[in-house]
Amino acid sequence: MALENIEAETAKARQEGRYTDIALLNADYQQIFARWRISQRAELQADETHLHHSLEIVEKRLAWWRELSVTDDYDEPIEVSKAQMAIFAPGKMSPASWDEAKAAIAWMPEYRLPDDIDLVSGIAKLEQLLEAGRTLQPLFKDFIRQLGDTTFTETGWTEFRKERWNIFVQAVRTYNEIAERIDA
C-alpha cells in the first residue's frame, strides 16, 4: 500500500473508531516510510551527482564561450588556453595548438554554441544556469541529509517537506528551464 493510501485509510479508521486498524496501519506506514526514505535518498544522491557533473561541464563551457567572445578571428592565440585544457584534461591526448583545440571542441556537442543563440546571450544563459545549479546544490544536500537521519520521523519529514519541498521543486524547475533554453 502506498504512503498516501495508508494516510487516507488511517484517517478513515480514526473517524470510524477502528483503533486496532490504526495501529496496524501505523506499523505498515513506518515500514514503508523507512524503505521509501532509503530509496528517495539514493535517487536524490544520483541526481545530485548528475547535477555536479553537469555544472562542471557548464563551467568549462562558460570559460570556453567567454574566451571565444574576446578572441579576434585574425589574431587567435597560438598556445592552448586554460579553458581548452580544462575541456581536454580527462583525456589521454591533448591538442598541440589553440586552433587544433578549437577544431576538436567543435566536435563536442556539449561545448558547441547552438545555432539559434549568439555568443553574448549564450554566455548570459550559461551564467544563469550556473547560478541556478549552485542554488540547487545545497537543497539537494539538505534533503539527502534529512532522509539519511535515522531519527527522522514521518511527522518530521512532513513538516520539513511542507517548508522546503516547494523551494526545491521550484529550483529544479528553474534549472531545467534554463538548460532547455540553452540546448533547445
As to burial, measured by CB atoms within 10 angstroms (0-12 exposed, 13-18 middle, 19+ buried), residue 180 is: exposed
In angstroms, the CA 48 to CA 83 distance is 25
* Exposure string over 105-135, b if 16+ CB within 10 A, otherwise e: beeeeebebeeebeeeebbebbebbbebbee
pLDDT of residue 38: 87
CB–CB of 95/80 below 8 Å? yes
Q: What is the pLDDT of residues 126-178, one digit of tens each?
A: 999 999 999 999 999 988 888 887 676 767 777 877 888 888 889 999 999 99
Check: CB of residue 122 under 8 Å from CB of residue 182: yes
What integer pLDDT is reported at residue 70 of this predicted model?
Answer: 86
Which residues in the chain land under pLDDT 50? 184
pLDDT for res 4: 67
- pLDDT, position 1: 61
Task: Check residue 124 and give its pLDDT.
Answer: 94
Residue 56: its pLDDT value, please? 95
Provide CB contacts within 8 A for 25, sequence distance 6+: 6, 9, 10, 13
